């Protein structure tokens, strides 16, 4: 059941608490039904202040991708992922060499610890055969 955004605390804290439980939280506007990310207290689409937290199913598609290179270590991926619920976030695609991450790749949410904080990352969805 959707909770009222004001009742559950500061948007950034609620997002973090979802991640700490291994979940990807986002908000949905009760006015225009837009999926909202990053979390706020006002809908950037319609201006409504009435919206609720939901848990994402974690399925998404790579919208854009880059490999960031370093002089002294291996490159790392940075990607924008479009979630099935209709919001986009920056993240990292793991479990695949950085230059094999492609726009359009199907990915799934996972949690990693990043500098002592939980962070949302994504891993490629294994291609399975029919049936």
Query: In this chain, which stretch among 2-10, 25-33, 49-57, 95-103 interacts with another protein, using CB under 8 A?
Result: 95-103
Vertex 36 angle, CA 63 and 80, to 5°: 20
Q: Which of 8, 42, 52, 80 binds another protein (CB under 8 A)?
A: 80
Nearer to another protein, 28 or 37 (CB): 37
Q: Are 69 and 29 in contact (CB under 8 A)?
A: no
Q: Which is nearer to another protein, 26 or 28 (CB)?
A: 26
Instruction: Return the number of the residue (69 or 130) whose C-beta is nearest another protein.
Output: 69
User: Phi and psi (nearest 5°) for 40?
Assistant: -145, -170
Instruction: Determine the Cα–Cα distance for residues 124 and 10; give it in Å rounded to an integer.
Output: 32
Integer Rg of the chain from CA = 16
Three-state DSSP class for residue 17: helix
Which is nearest to 13 in space by CA: 4, 1, 25? 25
Q: 37-76: which residues touch another protein (CB under 8 A)? A: 37-38, 63-69, 75-76
Given the rule CB under 8 A, which of 1-9, 24-32, 48-56, 91-99 is the region that contacts another protein? 91-99
The residues binding another protein (CB under 8 A) are: 12, 37-38, 63-69, 75-76, 78-80, 88-92, 98-99, 103-104, 114-115, 117, 119
């Amino acid at each position: 059941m959707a909770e009222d955004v004001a009742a559950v605390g500061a948007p950034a804290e609620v997002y973090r608490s979802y991640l700490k439980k291994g979940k990807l939280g986002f908000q949905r506007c009760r006015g225009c039904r837009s999926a909202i990310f990053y979390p706020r207290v006002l809908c950037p689409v319609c201006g409504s202040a009435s919206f609720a937290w939901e848990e994402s199913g974690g399925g998404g598609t790579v919208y854009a991708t880059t490999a960031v290179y370093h002089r002294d270590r291996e490159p790392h991926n940075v990607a924008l992922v479009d979630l099935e619920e209709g919001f986009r976030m920056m993240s990292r695609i793991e479990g695949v060499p950085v230059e094999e991450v492609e726009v359009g790749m199907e990915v799934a949410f996972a949690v990693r610890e990043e500098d002592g904080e939980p962070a949302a990352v994504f891993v490629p969805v294994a291609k399975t055969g029919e049936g």
